[in-house]
Amino acid sequence: MLKFKGPIVCDVQLEHDQQIIPKVKSGSPIHDMLPSLDKKEIISNLKD
């Protein structure tokens, strides 16, 4: 999927009690995940 050029739909099926990490609080930007990363790592991941 990561190498596919163009739009793609990825259907991931999880168990009902599966713990999801990292996660984003409702209303937060996608790069503001929990557990938090330090600002330097966030910036390095946002660069293409």
6-32: pLDDT as tens digits? 999 999 899 999 888 778 888 888 778
Name the residue among 42, 32, 38, 35 with its Cα closest to residue 21: 35
Cα separation of 18 and 15, whole Å? 5
Question: Of 14 and 47, which is predicted with more confidence?
Answer: 14
CA distance 9 to 11: 6
pTM over 0.85: no
pLDDT at 48: 60
Q: Confidence band (pLDDT; 50, 70, 90) for 39?
A: confident
pLDDT confidence of residue 40: 87
What pLDDT does residue 9 have? 93
| Residue 41, φ and ψ in degrees, nearest 5 | -70, -40
